[in-house]
């Protein structure tokens, strides 16, 4: 074994690349890793969820006393952006069902609600389809292969989530898998098929059968463009550039709509709705533990905050998914996702010494923790002599080996990755990509029932904003299944549940309660949430964007 | 890394930095940044026209003129690395949908071609000016895709649009007001809707419908 290191014990990008090629050309190649490892201990020692110094205890709200990440606590316990005075001049719009969020879950919910004959408004922070859904690559799980069963899908999902998920929710999810695929095909979505027209399937880390169906490594793009077109051709009223900044409640504390803050004209609008479906996605853009993220620009946990303020209970708030294969080099693409489909197809992960160190098809939390262990124990690439940067770290994703064993597979199945290689000036058929875990998914979220109902009457939460389906770790392909399956269920239920009578009184009393609680606990009132945008976008709602207008001569918020 | 790009611009231009203009504003930033990252780096707010930052949502289309050429090209702002002397404008074209159709209103696959020409009557007016191909930031042969759709070869047409991110730039490049990307998406959707009938999926749907397959949530009891 080559031991190409610096004097101070670290291994540079070039040295590690040398080690990789030496080992690749050796007779033994890359033998499988020793598999005797204590997985629970590995997670405890190296998974970012277990960094106690970044955790805190919630002081206010339904989850008072629960542990969660400091950055999550900051947004959950921040002041509202809204005062009663803001509502005085705000236009009022009425509808039956309000869907907040324009990704896959929101579109599925809106389509089903509109199909049931309800008036539906879908509001989205940016444009319809701007979401994490469009970026999903790996695929969607459904037990359809001969010999595979919903029971196996259930068992795999429950086990990968460390036996903490809500079993009834998983049962609903897995039983709905094949029907969800059928519905997507009926929307006009294509999947990769074999020569006889059957759906192709592949494994995911932690699955016992080939169960992930996919369209190249563009599954999310194909899904989202089809759903977007469906929604735009339906009766759903789509409001782009309309982030929700607060929910409305009625005299009984039920959800009664939302306040949106238009990015078009910087005005507030009150949308009164009989039922509200929150489908705002996750929170990767707060960069927990300073990790880069694979998430969409708008993933700032807005729905989580809104639901919590109205009294909805959350779960597994301390559990996040760090996807093992995020780009570590080049640095301007840091955090960009490389699909698990590579590992499903047999790609190895190799450390800076040229060794495999984990079974690549273990669930994501185990593989991510193992990569972090390699880097912390000096077997990862550290720093980059070429650019002189010191915070780069990672291990290799062996695309050249995969291509050598399956000639042509990269071009045929992974066109998006080829593009990423071109942008990185790396020929991925010859040179491996340097990867490191990237903040990918919020495992927990709002507690829901089998139809996506939260604990608050009139309020539904579906998709990444909800919790319970994945427990404390999600399998590849279960997120796309969840958003469509539960999105559709919520859309149907929201129409059934709509009250025949309108709300007597529409209020934002829950904000007064929040402020009282914050003051009683002597909590700072300076921060405001929901965040709406990551801090580096320099969006300033307070100044109503005019300050930035004056300084820059143009407004990147509303283009006015 | 994308999350510490909020450093304010300094006047001392370093080795790896380039100067360019974005929406008329002079900006200096490291050459490893995309157009959007460069704007943030220089301290300008920018949320509109920002999306997935991964090249697939189609929200961040920009017009760009490089220092060495008078030609204006269309690109995606999150994917375009900045270069010395570039002139970049965020495109603000609104692109209202001109067509309305539902797949369920097409009765059989025999009717697709007729319906296509009813839904997209302007498609056959294509004058092969390559405007759509020139504006496509993904390098798709849009014009051939439209041509194939006109001929009723929807599966082949759709194949050309695999990497289409629906940025709508080809619409802006078409003098006949064809919506080429929506033509491509129509071609893809009818192919899925009418011709995807996987036996492995259909068998499993039937087994679930008849109750042959069910889930026992009491996992501990299983062998």
In the block, residue with structure tokens 């190799």: A350
Instruction: Collect the ranges in chain B with pLDDT lower than 50.
Output: 1-11
Cis peptide before A508 (omega within 30 of 0): no
What per-residue confidence (pLDDT) applies to A424? 87
* Minimum distance, in Å, between the CA of residue B148 and any CA atom of chain A: 18
- With a CB cutoff of 8 Å and minimum separation 6, the contacts of A127 are A102, A240, A241, B51, B57, B59
CB contact under 8 A, A540 and B44: no
With an 8 Å Cβ cutoff, are A181 and B201 in contact?
yes
A126 and B47 in contact by Cβ < 8 A? yes
Q: How far is A369 from chain B (nearest CA, A)?
A: 21
Residue of B37, B97, B191 lying closest to A190 (CB–CB): B191
- For this structure, is A323 an active site residue? yes
Phi-psi region of A378 (alpha: psi -120 to 50; beta: other; left: phi over 0): left
* A343 among known catalytic residues: yes
Task: Identify the H or E element spanning A25.
Answer: helix A13-25
A266: tokens are 């910087």
Domain ranges of chain B: 2-90, 103-195
- pLDDT at A183 exceeding the cut of 90: yes
| Interface A-B: count of C-beta contacts within 8 A | 234
Contacts of A151 in chain B (CB under 8 A): 213-216
pLDDT tens for each residue of A192-204: 999 999 999 999 9
- Contact of B200 with chain A, judged by CB distance below 8 Å, is answered with yes
Chain-chain contact of B1 with A292 (C-beta, under 8 angstroms): yes
* Mean pLDDT, rounded, for A69-93: 93
pLDDT interval class at A499 (50, 70, 90):
low
**pLDDT mean over A388-398:** 81
pTM: 0.94
Query: What tens digit of pLDDT does each residue of A88-121 get?
Result: 889 999 999 999 999 999 999 999 999 999 999 9
**Largest CA-CA distance found in chain B, in angstroms, rounded:** 73
Q: Which of A2-16, A122-136, A280-294, A307-321 has the lowest mean pLDDT?
A: A2-16
* Min Cα separation B69/chain A (Å): 22
Q: Is the pLDDT of residue A538 over 80?
A: yes
Return all residues near A412 (Cβ < 8 A) that are at least 6 apart: none
Under the banding of pLDDT at 50, 70 and 90, the label for residue A500 is low
What is the least distance, in Å, from the CA of B84 to any CA of chain A? 18
Using the Cβ of A185 and the Cβ atoms of chain B, whether some distance falls under 8 Å is answered with: yes
Helices A364-376 & A39-46 angle (0-180, nearest 10): 60
| Residue A478 tokens, joined | 């279960």
Q: How would residue A450 be classed by pLDDT, with cut points 50, 70 and 90?
A: very high
Res. A392 pLDDT band, cuts 50 70 90: confident
Find the mean pLDDT for residues A359-385.
90
Roughly what angle, to the nearest 10 degrees, separates helices A509-520 and A302-309?
A: 90
CATH fold, domain B2-90, is Ubiquitin-like (UB roll) (3.10.20)
Which residues of chain A neighbour B203 with C-beta distances below 8 Å? 144, 146
A190, A232, A423 ranked by CB distance to B97: nearest: A232
Which residues of B fall within a CB distance of 8 Å from A555? Answer: 45
Domain locations along chain A = 13-31+324-439, 81-319+443-506
* Nearest by CB: A557 against B23, B45, B222: B45
**Rounded CA Rg of chain B:** 23
Binary contact (A554, B45; C-beta < 8 A): no
Shortest distance, CA B187 to any CA of chain A (angstroms): 9
Q: In chain B, which residues have their Cβ closer than 8 Å to the Cβ of A419?
A: 55
Model confidence at A542, in pLDDT bands (50, 70, 90)? low
What gap in Å lies between CA A138 and CA A373, rounded to an integer? 25
**All residues at 6 or more sequence positions from A88 whose CB lies less than 8 Å from its CB, including other chains:** none
Query: A 428-457 residues with CB below 8 A of B?
Result: none
Chain B partners within 8 Å of A158 (Cβ): 219
Mean pLDDT value across residues A329-339: 88
Residue A536's contacts (CB-CB under 8 Å, 6 or more residues apart) are B2, B3, B4, B5, B6, B40
CATH code given to domain A81-319+443-506: 3.50.50.60
**Sorting pLDDT into bands at 50, 70 and 90, what band is A412?**
very high
pLDDT over 90 for what percent of chain A? Answer: 81
A306 at the B interface (CB within 8 A)? no
Could you read off the pLDDT of B38-66 as tens digits, one per residue? 999 998 888 888 988 888 888 899 999 99
Catalytic residue among A153, A309, A343, A510: A343
B184 touches chain A (CB under 8 A): no
ipTM score: 0.92
User: Chain B window 61-120: which residues touch A at a Cβ cutoff of 8 Å?
Assistant: 79, 81, 90, 92, 97, 99-103
Give me the pLDDT at residue B12, please. Answer: 57
Kindly state the average pLDDT of the residues A535-557.
56
What is the pLDDT, as a whole number, of residue A6?
62
The size of chain B, in residues, is: 223
Three-state secondary structure readout of A70-134: HHHHHHHCCEECCCHHHHHCCEEEEEEEEEECCCHHHHHHHHHHHHCCCCEEEECCCCCCCCCHH
| pLDDT number for residue A35 | 67
What is the model's pLDDT at position A264? Answer: 84
Examine the pLDDT at A407 and tell me if it is beyond 80.
Answer: yes
**pLDDT of amino acid B9:** 42
Rg of the Cα trace of chain A? 24
Taking the Cβ of residue A179 and every Cβ of chain B, the question of whether any pair is shorter than 8 Å is answered with: yes
- Chain-chain contact of B3 with A127 (C-beta, under 8 angstroms): no
Does the beta-carbon distance from B25 to A220 stay under 8 Å? Answer: no
Q: Which fold has domain A13-31+324-439?
A: Flavocytochrome C3; Chain A, domain 1 (3.90.700)
């Amino acid at each position: 074994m080559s031991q190409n290191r610096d004097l101070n014990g670290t291994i540079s990008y070039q040295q590690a690349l040398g080690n990789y090629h030496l080992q690749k050309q050796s007779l033994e190649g890359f033998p499988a890793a020793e598999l005797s490892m204590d997985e629970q201990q590995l997670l405890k020692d190296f998974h970012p969820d277990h960094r106690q110094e970044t955790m805190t205890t919630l002081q206010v709200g339904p989850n008072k006393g629960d542990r969660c990440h400091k950055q999550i606590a900051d947004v959950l316990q921040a002041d509202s952006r809204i005062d009663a005075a803001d509502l005085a001049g705000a236009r009022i719009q009425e509808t039956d069902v309000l869907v907040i969020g324009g990704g896959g879950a929101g579109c599925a919910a809106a389509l089903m609600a509109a199909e049931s004959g309800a008036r539906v408004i879908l509001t989205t922070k940016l444009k319809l389809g701007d979401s994490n859904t469009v970026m999903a690559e790996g695929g969607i799980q459904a037990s359809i292969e001969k010999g595979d069963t919903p029971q196996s899908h259930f068992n795999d999902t429950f086990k990968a989530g460390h036996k903490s998920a809500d079993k009834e929710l998983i049962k609903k999810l897995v039983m709905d898998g094949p029907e969800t695929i059928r519905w997507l095909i009926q929307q006009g979505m294509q999947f990769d098929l074999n020569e006889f027209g059957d759906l192709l399937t592949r494994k995911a880390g932690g699955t016992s059968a080939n169960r992930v169906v996919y369209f190249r490594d563009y599954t999310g793009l194909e899904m989202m463009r089809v759903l977007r077109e469906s929604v735009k051709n339906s009766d759903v009223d789509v409001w782009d550039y309309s982030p929700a900044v607060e929910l409305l409640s009625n005299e009984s504390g039920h959800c009664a709509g939302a306040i949106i803050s238009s990015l078009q004209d910087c005005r507030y609008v009150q949308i009164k709705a009989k039922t509200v479906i929150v489908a705002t996605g996750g929170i990767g853009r707060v960069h927990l533990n300073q990790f880069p993220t694979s998430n969409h620009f708008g993933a700032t946990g807005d729905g989580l905050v809104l639901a919590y303020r109205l009294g909805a209970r959350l779960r597994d708030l301390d559990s996040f998914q760090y996807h093992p294969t995020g780009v570590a080099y080049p640095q301007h693409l840091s955090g960009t996702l490389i699909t698990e489909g590579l590992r499903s197809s047999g790609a190895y992960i190799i450390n800076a010494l040229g060794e495999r160190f984990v079974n690549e098809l273990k669930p994501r939390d185990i593989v991510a923790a193992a990569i972090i262990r390699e880097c912390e124990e000096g077997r990862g690439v550290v720093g980059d002599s070429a650019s002189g940067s010191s915070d780069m770290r990672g291990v290799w994703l062996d695309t050249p080996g995969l291509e050598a064993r399956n000639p042509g597979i990269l071009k045929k199945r992974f066109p998006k990755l080829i593009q990423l290689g071109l942008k990185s000036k790396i020929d991925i058929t010859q040179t491996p990509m340097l990867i490191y875990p990237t903040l990918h998914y919020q495992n927990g979220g709002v507690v829901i029932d089998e139809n996506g109902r939260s604990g608050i009457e009139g309020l539904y939460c579906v998709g990444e904003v909800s919790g319970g389906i994945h427990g404390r770790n999600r399998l590849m392909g279960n997120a796309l299944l969840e958003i469509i399956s539960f999105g559709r269920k919520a859309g149907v239920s929201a129409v059934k549940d709509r009250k025949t009578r309108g709300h007597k009184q529409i209020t934002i009393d829950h904000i007064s309660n929040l402020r009282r609680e914050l003051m009683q606990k002597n909590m700072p009132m300076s921060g405001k949430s929901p965040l709406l945008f990551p801090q580096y976008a320099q969006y300033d709602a307070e100044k109503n964007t005019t300050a930035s207008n004056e300084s820059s001569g143009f407004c990147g918020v509303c283009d006015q | 890394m994308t999350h510490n790009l909020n450093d304010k611009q300094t006047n001392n231009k370093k080795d790896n930095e380039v100067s360019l203009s974005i929406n008329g504003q002079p900006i200096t930033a490291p050459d490893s940044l995309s157009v959007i990252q460069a704007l943030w780096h220089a301290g300008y707010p920018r949320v509109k026209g920002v999306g997935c930052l991964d090249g697939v949502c189609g929200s961040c289309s920009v017009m760009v003129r490089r220092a060495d050429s008078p030609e204006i090209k269309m690109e995606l702002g999150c994917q375009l690395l900045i270069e010395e002397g570039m002139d970049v404008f965020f495109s603000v074209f609104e692109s209202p949908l001109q067509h309305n159709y539902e797949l369920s209103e097409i009765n059989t696959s025999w009717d697709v071609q007729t319906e296509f020409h009813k839904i997209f009557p302007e498609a056959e007016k294509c004058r092969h000016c390559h405007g759509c191909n020139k504006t496509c930031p993904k390098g798709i042969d849009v014009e051939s895709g439209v041509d194939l759709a006109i001929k009723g070869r929807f599966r082949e047409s759709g194949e050309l649009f695999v990497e289409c991110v629906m940025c709508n730039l080809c619409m802006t490049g078409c003098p006949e007001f064809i919506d080429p990307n929506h033509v491509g998406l129509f071609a893809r959707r009818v192919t899925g809707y009418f011709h995807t009938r996987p036996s492995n999926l259909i068998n499993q749907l039937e087994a679930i419908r008849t109750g042959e397959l069910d889930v026992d949530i009491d996992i501990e009891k299983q062998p």
